[in-house]
Structure 1
C-alpha cells in the first residue's frame, strides 16, 4: 500500500512540475498517463499472481511491486503448512502401517455400528471386505447371535468368545468392543483357535494319563489289599506267585507309560536334533533282532536293508522310532503273518524306512488320529499286547526333529505300511 501511494505521489509531483513548465493540460495528461501505466502494470501483476495461485507450491513470481509484501508471508505460511501436512501424513501412514501389522484384528465403527475401516487381520478373521462392507453394519457382517447380544450392551467390561466357520474352517475369536471419542467404537478381534486346541489337548492329555494309570493302579491296589486283608494261610504259594506276577506286570506297565511320557517331554522341550551320521541300516538290523525275540517265531520277517545310507541325527531317537514301528507291526499282525522291513533310497533322492505288515489294518477314519497320544483303534487289544498308546506319538516327534515325514497307508483287513521318509539334506554315504 505504501509503495502504491508513493508511486501516485511521484506521478502527481512530476505532473505538477511539467504543468508549471508546459501548462496545466500537459501536467494533467502526464499524471493521467502515469495512473494508466500503474493500472496496466497492476493488471499484469495480478495476472501473474492468478497464474501462481493455481500452483501455490511453487515460489511466487518475483518483482511484484506492492504485492511482494503480501505474497511473501503468504508463501512462507503455505510452505510451513505444507511441511506440517507432510509430517502429519508420514505419521498417519506410519500409524496405518502399524495398525496393519497388528497381530489382532482392528475394526473402527461409527455411532450406528457401521464399518469405517479395518486392518488386514480383521479381514482374515471375519471375512470382511472393506471395499464392499464399508458403511455397512457390523451386525449384518458378523451374523452371530452371541455377538449381537454382546454388541447391544451399554458397556463391554470384557471380550466375548465366538466360534465361527469361515471358508470351511472352524475358528475361535475373542471380540472386544471399546468406545473412543464421540460416537466412535473400536472392535478388536483375536484368533484363539490354537490356544483352545492346546487347552483341549491338555485336558484330554490329563484325562488320558489318569485313565491309563487308573487301570493298573486299581489292579495293583486290589491285589495288595487282598494279600494284606487275608491271612497268610488263605493263599497257596502258587496263588501268591500268580498275584505277585500280575502285580509286577501292572507295575511294569505303569513304568512303561511314565518312561514314554518322559521321552515325549524330552523330545518336545529339547532343540531340534543335530547329532552325527548314523548308519540306520545297522540300527534297523539290531531292532529286527529284538523284534524276532518279541515275535517268538510267530511271524515271517522279510528284510530289504541298504547298509551304506547314513542319517544325521540322534541314534537313540532314531532307534526308538525304528523299534516302535516294528513293535506295532508285531502286535497287530496275526500269527504266521509277514512283516517286511525296508531301508532304501528313493528315486527322488530321499531315504525311506518302511515297515509293511499283513495285519488287521486300520480304518480310513482312524488314520489321521493314530499319532495322537493314547489314541488306540482297538483299546482292548492294545492293552493286551502291552502298548502304552504313545509309540506313534514318539515316532512322529522323532520324525519332525529329523526333518522327516511319517506316512501311514492302510486298509482295514489288508495290512498297513508305516514309513519314515528322510530328506536328502539329512543323508550321507557310509565310508
Structure 2
C-alpha cells in the first residue's frame, strides 16, 4: 500500500512540475498516463498472482510491487502449515504402522458398533475385509450369540473367549472391548489357539503320567499288601519268587518311565549344543548288540552301514534315538521277522538312518500321532512289551536338535520303516 501511495505521489509531483513548465494540460496528461501505467502494471501483477494461486506449493512471483509485502507472510504461513501437516501425517503413518505391527488384532468401532478400521492381524483373526466391511455392524460380521451378549454389557472388565472357524480351521480368540474417545470403541483380539492346545497337552500329559504310573504302582501295592497280610509260611518259595519277579518288573517299568521323562525334559529345556563329529556307525553297532540280545535269536537282522559317515552333535542324544527305533522294531516284529538297519548318505549330501521291520505295522490314522507322549497305537501290546510310550517323542526331539526329521512309513499288517534324515550341514565324512 505504501509503495502505491509513493508511486501516485511521484507521478503527481512530476505532473505539477511539467504542468508549471509546459502547461496544465500537459501536467494532467502526464498524471493520467502515470495512473494508466500503474493500472496496467497492477493488472499484470494480479495476473501473476492468479497463476500462483493455482499452485500454492510454489513460491510467490517476485517483483509484484505492493503485493510483495502481502504475499510473503501468506506464503511463509502456508509453508509452515504444509510442514506441520506433513509432520502430523508422518506421525499418523508411524502410528498406523505400529498398529499393523501389533501381534494382537485391533478394531475401531463407531457408536453404533460399525466397523471403522482394523489392522491386518484382526482381519486374519475374524476374516475382515475393510473394502467391503467398513461401516457395517460388527454384529453382522461376527455372528456369535456369546459375542452379541458380551458386547451388550455396560462394562467389559474381562475378555471373552470365543471359538470360531476360519478356512476350515478352529480358532480360539480372546476379545476385549473398551470405550474410547467420544462414543467410539476399541476391540482387541488375541489368538490363543496354540495356548489352548498347549494347555490341553499339559493336562493330557499329567493325566497320562498318572495313568502310566498308577498301573505298576497298583500291582506293587497289591503284591506288597498280600505279602504283608499273610504269614511268611503261607507262600511257597515258587510263589514268593514269582511275586518278587513281578514286583521287580513293575519297578523297572516305573524306573524306565521316570528316566524317559527326565530325558524328554532335558531335551525340551536345554539349548542344542554344537557338538562334535560322532561316528554313528559305532553307535549303531553297539545298539545292534543290545537289540540282538533283546531279540534272543527270534529275529533276522540285515545291516547296511557306512562306517565313514559322521554326524555333528551329541553322542548321548544320538544313541538314545538310534536305540529307540531299534528297540521298537523288535517289540513290534513277530518271531522270525526281519529287521533291516541302514546308515547311508543321500544325493544331496545328507545322511539317513533307517530301521525297517516286517512287524504288525501301523494303521494310517495312528501315524500322525505316534510321536505324541504316551500315545500308543496298540495299547495292550505296548505295555506287554515294556514300552513307556515316550521313545518316539524323545526321538523326534533329538531329530529336531540335530537338524533332522523323523519320517514314518508303514502298512498295517505288513511292516514299518522309521527314518532319521539328517541335513547336509550336520554330515561329516572320515
* TM-score of the aligned structures, taking structure 2 as reference length: 0.96
Distance in 2 between residues matched to 1:349 and 1:35, nearest whole Å: 96
Q: Which consecutive unaligned segments of at least 5 residues does structure 1 have?
A: none
> Matched residue of 1:163: which SS?
strand
In the alignment, structure 1 residue 423 sits paired with structure 2 residue 427: no
Q: Name the structure 2 match of 1:11.
A: 11
> Matched residue of 2:178: which SS?
strand
Once the two structures are superposed, the pairs formed by residues 11-410 of structure 1 within 5 Å of their partners are: 11-410=11-410
Worse-superposed segment, 165-174 or 192-201: 165-174
How far is the alpha carbon of 1:82 from its aligned partner? Answer: 1.4
Contact 1:283 1:319 in 2 (8 A): yes
Distance in 2 between residues matched to 1:9 and 1:315, nearest whole Å: 106
Distance in 1 between residues matched to 2:275 and 2:115, nearest whole Å: 55
> Matched residue of 2:103: which SS?
coil
> Matched residue of 1:96: which SS?
helix
Distance in 1 between residues matched to 2:73 and 2:174, nearest whole Å: 55
Distance in 1 between residues matched to 2:300 and 2:146, nearest whole Å: 60
1:116-139 deviation per Cα after TM superposition (whole angstroms, max 9, x unaligned): 222111122222222222222222
Distance in 2 between residues matched to 1:154 and 1:16, nearest whole Å: 86
> Matched residue of 1:256: which SS?
helix
Distance in 1 between residues matched to 2:77 and 2:260, nearest whole Å: 76
Worse-superposed segment, 385-394 or 269-278: 269-278
Distance in 2 between residues matched to 1:23 and 1:348, nearest whole Å: 111
Contact 1:257 1:388 in 2 (8 A): yes
* TM-score of the aligned structures, taking structure 1 as reference length: 0.96
1:24-48 deviation per Cα after TM superposition (whole angstroms, max 9, x unaligned): 3333222222221111111111111
> Matched residue of 1:413: which SS?
coil
Q: Which consecutive unaligned segments of at least 5 residues does structure 2 have?
A: none
Distance in 1 between residues matched to 2:405 and 2:395, nearest whole Å: 10
Distance in 2 between residues matched to 1:160 and 1:249, nearest whole Å: 50
How far is the alpha carbon of 1:182 from its aligned partner? Answer: 1.0
How far is the alpha carbon of 1:156 from its aligned partner? Answer: 1.6
Distance in 2 between residues matched to 1:107 and 1:77, nearest whole Å: 37
1:212-271 deviation per Cα after TM superposition (whole angstroms, max 9, x unaligned): 111111111122222222232322333222222221111111110000000001111111
Contact 2:357 2:417 in 1 (8 A): yes
Worse-superposed segment, 238-247 or 265-274: 238-247
1:352-410 deviation per Cα after TM superposition (whole angstroms, max 9, x unaligned): 11111111111000000000000001111111111000000001011111111101111
Distance in 2 between residues matched to 1:107 and 1:194, nearest whole Å: 22
How far is the alpha carbon of 1:169 from its aligned partner? Answer: 1.8
1:136-162 deviation per Cα after TM superposition (whole angstroms, max 9, x unaligned): 222222222222222222322221112
RMSD of equivalent CA atoms: 1.5
Distance in 2 between residues matched to 1:25 and 1:345, nearest whole Å: 117
Contact 1:273 1:402 in 2 (8 A): no
Distance in 1 between residues matched to 2:308 and 2:326, nearest whole Å: 21
How far is the alpha carbon of 1:200 from its aligned partner? Answer: 0.8
Distance in 2 between residues matched to 1:19 and 1:347, nearest whole Å: 112
Contact 2:349 2:427 in 1 (8 A): no
Distance in 1 between residues matched to 2:285 and 2:143, nearest whole Å: 60
Distance in 2 between residues matched to 1:21 and 1:46, nearest whole Å: 36
Contact 1:367 1:408 in 2 (8 A): yes
Worse-superposed segment, 7-16 or 239-248: 7-16
> Matched residue of 1:241: which SS?
helix
1:311-363 deviation per Cα after TM superposition (whole angstroms, max 9, x unaligned): 11111111111111111111111111111111112233321111111111110
> Matched residue of 1:365: which SS?
coil
Distance in 1 between residues matched to 2:306 and 2:13, nearest whole Å: 118
> Matched residue of 2:66: which SS?
helix
Worse-superposed segment, 143-152 or 84-93: 143-152
Distance in 1 between residues matched to 2:46 and 2:183, nearest whole Å: 47
Worse-superposed segment, 271-280 or 374-383: 271-280
> Matched residue of 1:161: which SS?
strand
